Amino acid sequence: MTDAITTLNEASENDRCLICGVDDSLPVKGRLTELGFYEGAVIERLQVGSFGSPIACRVSGAVIAVRSSDAGKISVKVLR
């Protein structure tokens, strides 16, 4: 496991990530929290859309698509 914190949009495909925080300025923060994107949750970054957005993530067994701009405001620690 690495100690470097990055953002979800900078993680690589198929990386398992621990969410370290979601920026409070993100307008959809409440909705993402309801979907499982909260501090301490482990998610898997899957594929990226053809033009760099959206980013597909596996969260609690469901696949959720997140805009790349929103993923840039989700801090994660990549688990190796």
User: What pLDDT does 2 receive?
Assistant: 53
Would you say the pTM of this structure is higher than 0.85?
yes
Residue 4's pLDDT is what? 86
3-state secondary structure of 46: strand
Enclosing domain of residue 22: 5-79
Q: Is the pLDDT of residue 30 over 90?
A: yes
As for how many domains the chain has, the answer is 1
Distance CA(14)–CA(45), nearest Å, equals: 5
The CATH number that applies at residue 69 is: 2.30.30.90
Label each residue of 20-32 as H, E or C. Answer: EEECCCCCCHHHH
* Averaged pLDDT, 57-74: 94
Q: Which pLDDT tens digit goes with each residue over 34-62?
A: 999 999 999 999 999 888 789 999 999 99
The pLDDT value given to residue 80: 79
